[in-house]
Amino acid sequence: MIEARGLVKRYGATTAVDDLSFSIRPGLVTGFLGPNGAGKTTTMRMILGLDAPTQGSVTVGGHSYRDLPAPMREVGALLDAKALHGGRRARDHLLCLAQSNGIPRGRVDEVIRTVGLESVARRRAKGFSLGMGQRLGIAAALLGDPAVLIFDEPINGLDPDGIHWVRTLMRTLAAEGRTVLISSHLMSEMAVTADHLLVIGKGRLIADTSVDDFVRSSSRRSVHVRSPQAAELAARCREAGATAAVAGTDPDIIEITGMDSTEVGKLAAAHGIVLFELIPVRASLEEAFMELTRDSVEYQAAGATR
Amino acid sequence: MTDATIAPAAPDHRPAFRAATFGDALRSEWTKLHSVRSTFWALTVTVVLGVGLGAAISAAAAHGYDMSSASGKLSWDPTSDSLNGIAVAQLGIAVLGVLFISSEYSSGMIRASLIAVPKRGRVLAAKSLVLAAVTFVVGEVTSFAAFFAGQALISGHAPQAALGDPGVARAVVGGGLVLAALAVLSVATGALLRHPAAGIACMLAVTLVLPAIAQALPDSWRNPVTEFWPTYAGGQLTTVYHSARTLLPWPGFGVLCLFVAIVYAIAWTLLDRRDA
C-alpha cells in the first residue's frame, strides 16, 4: 500500500509534481502512466525517500520510507537499470545491496536464477546490455522479497521475450498479494500488464481508474459504412441524433458516431438501404491516452497537429 | 483485462525479518570497496609511493648529511625523512576516498545505496569507517616498511633512528593514523562535492598545492600556515625533531582531526538534506 497526500515537488520555478494524491493497493498491478516529463520518476523518487517533497507526504505501508527499519524487506525498487558501478561484478552488486539489509547470501543466488543471469553473474556490469541491466535491477528489487515493488520503465531495452517475462513476473507478483507499481509512457503496454491506471500529465493527476473503465470511457466508438446510398443513410442517422460524415474522398464511405453498428444496421434495413460494409471502429488505447494527455504533453514536436 | 479474476490480496507469508543495522551497512561497504579494481590500484600506488619516495628521500638526505651545516645536523630527523613519502602517498588515499563515494554519484549507484539504506548518515559513517580501517592497516604497513627501508639506506652514512628511540615509534605509527584521518576527509569531500574530478582536485589542493603555495609567501603569512594548516599540522605526528613554529605532534594531529570532523559534519548535514 502506497499513499500520497497532496504531493508537490518544485525545482526552482518548475513544478514537477503538482498536488498529487493517490493510494496504490496491494494485489494489483498499477500502471503509472504519463508522457515524458510528466513527473513519474520524480514521484517515485519521493516515494523512495530520495527526493523530499516540497509539500505533502507519501507513505509506504503507513510509514515514511526513510523510517523503514529494513527497507529492502518491505519495498523493492528499480529506478534506473544503468545506475550501478560498471567495474563491479553483477553478483557483488547484488551482494552489497543484500548485506546492507541483512539479507542472507543465498538469496542473492536465488534472485540471479529468477532473472536468468546465472551465466553472467561473475561478469563486470559495464559489459551488460540495457536488457541485462534491467534484469539485474529487477533482481535487486526482489532481493528482500518485499510486499511493495516499484519499477520505473522496466521494459525499456528488453527484447520481446524479456517483455513477456517482465509482464508475467509483474502479474505473478501482484497475484501473490503484493503491491506493484510500474511506470511507463506506453499505454499499449499498460493495457496488457496493469489492472489499475494512474495517469498523470504535467505533474497533475489526470485519471485514477481501472484499465477496464479507462478503455470503456475513453474509447471513442464509431461505425464505418460503405453504401451506394450513403448520403441517404447519413441523413437518416442525423435524424436519429447521431453524427455522420463522409470519411475520405469516396462519397460512398461514411463515418457514423453516436450509434453502434447494430443500430445503424437496423436503421438501414428499415429504410431499405443497401450496405456493402458495416464495421464498428474503436479508437485505440494509444489514441485515447493521447486524447487524455494532449494538454499536458511537456515536449511537442514543432508543427504537431494534435 | 483480468481484473476480476485476480485473487484478493493474500496474507503476508514472508518470514519475519530483523531491522537493518550499522553492522550490515559496514559489511555492505566492505563488499563495495573490495569488489572494484580501482581500490587495489589506489592502495598499491599508496604503498609504492610511500615506501619508494621515503627510501629515495632517506638516501639523498643521508648522502648530504656530512656536508650539511651544524644547524642542519641539529635538526637531523632520520625518522621523518624516511616517512616523508607518506605526504605524497596521501594522494592514493585521497583519490580512493573521493572515488569511493563520488563514483556512486557519477554512476547512479548512490540511488540504489540510499534506497537500500535511507538513513543516509549511516551510509556515510559506514563508508568512512571501512575506508579508514583499511587505510589504517595499509598505512601502517607502508609506514613501517618506509621506516625500515629508510633507516637501512641511512645506516653507515648518517645517524639512523631505531623504533626504541624517544618519539620514533609514535612517529611511525602516526603515518598510518594520518592516512586514516585523510581517508575520512576524502570520503567526506567526495560526499560534499559529488563529482569525482572536483573532489580529487579539491583534495589535491588541500594536501599539496596550498601548502606549496604557502612556501612562496612572506614569513608573516607562511608561519601560521605551516603551523595550523590541517594537513601540515597532522604531518607533525610523523616527525621526531620539533622545530619552532610548528605544533607538537599530538596537538598537530588534533588540528587535522578537528578539520576532518568539521568537513564530515558539513557533508553529513548536506547528504541528509539534499535530494539524491
Cβ contact, residue pair A177, B119, below 8 Å: no
The Cα of B83 is separated from the nearest Cα of chain A by a number of Å equal to 33
pLDDT > 70 in chain A, percent: 94
ipTM above 0.85, yes or no: yes
Among the candidates A217, A233, A266, a domain finishes at A217
Q: Is there a single domain that holds both residue A72 and residue A146?
A: yes
- Output the domain CATH number for residue A261: 3.30.70
Residue A182: which H helix or E strand, with range?
strand A179-184
Test mutation, A29, A96, A123, chain B, max B CBs within 10 A:
A96
pLDDT of residue A270: 92
pLDDT of residue B7: 41
Residues in chain A where the model's pLDDT stays below 50: 303-306
Cβ contact, residue pair A102, B11, below 8 Å: no
Whether A62 is in a domain gets the answer yes
Closest partner CB to B37 (pick from A48, A87, A174): A87
Residue A252 touches chain B, beta carbons under 8 Å: no
Residue B127 touches chain A, beta carbons under 8 Å: no
Please report which confidence band the pLDDT of residue B2 belongs to, taking 50, 70 and 90 as the band edges.
Answer: very low
Q: Is there a single domain that holds both residue A204 and residue A233?
A: no
pLDDT mean over B74-99: 94
The Cα of B44 is separated from the nearest Cα of chain A by a number of Å equal to 18
Please report which confidence band the pLDDT of residue B138 belongs to, taking 50, 70 and 90 as the band edges.
Answer: very high
Residue B24 touches chain A, beta carbons under 8 Å: yes
Cβ contact, residue pair B113, A100, below 8 Å: yes
Summarised one tens digit per residue, pLDDT across range A89-109 is 999 999 999 999 999 999 999
pLDDT of residue A180: 97
pLDDT of residue A58: 97
pLDDT of residue B197: 96
Test mutation, A24, A100, A187, chain B, max B CBs within 10 A:
A100
Closest partner CB to A101 (pick from B24, B107, B114): B24
Rounded Cα distance between B157 and A82, Å, is 58
Whether B14 is in a domain gets the answer no
Q: Is there a single domain that holds both residue A198 and residue A245?
A: no
pLDDT of residue A189: 84
B contacts of A77 (beta carbons < 8 Å) = 115
pLDDT of residue A299: 58
Count of structural domains, chain B: 1
Q: Is there a single domain that holds both residue A142 and residue A236?
A: no
Q: Is there a single domain that holds both residue A203 and residue A140?
A: yes
Cβ contact, residue pair B17, A102, below 8 Å: yes
Whether B11 is in a domain gets the answer no
A64, A53 contact by CB (below 8 A) = no
Rounded Cα distance between A163 and A205, Å, is 27
Among the candidates A202, A217, A232, a domain finishes at A217
Whether A171 is in a domain gets the answer yes
Q: Is there a single domain that holds both residue A144 and residue A231?
A: no
Summarised one tens digit per residue, pLDDT across range A249-292 is 888 999 898 888 898 999 999 999 999 999 888 766 777 777 77
Q: Is there a single domain that holds both residue A48 and residue A20?
A: yes
pLDDT of residue A305: 44
Give yes or no for residue B107 having a pLDDT over 80.
yes
Q: Is there a single domain that holds both residue A149 and residue A8?
A: yes
Residue B270 touches chain A, beta carbons under 8 Å: no
Please report which confidence band the pLDDT of residue B14 belongs to, taking 50, 70 and 90 as the band edges.
Answer: low
Whether B13 is in a domain gets the answer no
Cβ contact, residue pair B32, A140, below 8 Å: no
Whether B17 is in a domain gets the answer no
Distances (CA, A) of A14 to A9, A53, A298, B183: 9, 14, 12, 39
Q: Is there a single domain that holds both residue A160 and residue A237?
A: no
Give yes or no for residue B9 having a pLDDT over 70.
no
Q: Which residue of A has its CA nearest to B105?
A: A83
**What does pTM read for this prediction?**
0.86
| Cell representation of residue A57 | 507526504
Enter the DSSP assignment of A124.
B
SS3 of chain B: the string is CCHHHCCCCCCCCCCCCCCCCHHHHHHHHHHHHHCCHHHHHHHHHHHHHHHHHHHHHHHHHHHHCCCCCHHHHHCCCHHHHHHCCHHHHHHHHHHHHHHHHHHHHHHCHHHHHHHHCCCHHHHHHHHHHHHHHHHHHHHHHHHHHHHHHHHHHHCCCCCCCCCCCCCHHHHHHHHHHHHHHHHHHHHHHHHHHCCHHHHHHHHHHHHHHHHHHHHCCCHHHHHHHHHHCHHHHHHHHHCCCCCCCCCCHHHHHHHHHHHHHHHHHHHHHHHHHCCC
pLDDT mean over B135-145: 97
Q: Which domain holds residue B96?
A: 22-273
Whether B136 is in a domain gets the answer yes
Rounded Cα distance between A145 and A132, Å, is 20
Lowest mean per-residue pLDDT among B37-41, B74-78, B193-197 = B74-78
* Three-class secondary structure of residue A121 per DSSP: coil
Residue B41 touches chain A, beta carbons under 8 Å: no
Give yes or no for residue B211 having a pLDDT over 90.
no
Signed CA dihedral, B43, B44, B46, B50: sign only: positive
Cβ contact, residue pair B6, A101, below 8 Å: no
B38, A87 contact by CB (below 8 A) = yes
pLDDT of residue A258: 85
Residues 180-239 of A with CB under 8 A from B: 191, 195-196, 210-212, 215
Q: Is there a single domain that holds both residue A156 and residue A255?
A: no
A53, A46 contact by CB (below 8 A) = yes
pLDDT of residue A244: 87
Whether A290 is in a domain gets the answer no
Residues 151-180 of A with CB under 8 A from B: 171, 174-177
- Output the domain CATH number for residue A203: 3.40.50.300
Cβ contact, residue pair A212, B37, below 8 Å: no
A contacts of B1 (beta carbons < 8 Å) = 191, 195, 210-212, 215
Whether A294 is in a domain gets the answer no
Residue pairs spanning A and B at CB distance below 8 A:
140
Cβ contact, residue pair A177, B9, below 8 Å: yes
B20, B118 contact by CB (below 8 A) = no
Count of structural domains, chain A: 2
Summarised one tens digit per residue, pLDDT across range B60-71 is 999 999 888 888
Whether A302 is in a domain gets the answer no
Summarised one tens digit per residue, pLDDT across range B220-235 is 888 888 889 999 899 9
Cβ contact, residue pair B115, A102, below 8 Å: no
Q: Which domain holds residue A265?
A: 221-282
Q: Is there a single domain that holds both residue A183 and residue A133?
A: yes
- Stronger pLDDT, B170 or B69, i.e. the higher one: B170
Rounded Cα distance between A25 and A269, Å, is 49
Summarised one tens digit per residue, pLDDT across range B29-58 is 999 999 999 999 999 999 999 999 999 999
Q: Which residue of B has its CA nearest to A91?
A: B35
* Three-class secondary structure of residue A271 per DSSP: coil
Q: Is there a single domain that holds both residue A123 and residue A177?
A: yes
Residue closest to B97 by CA, chosen among B23, B193, B21, B26: B193
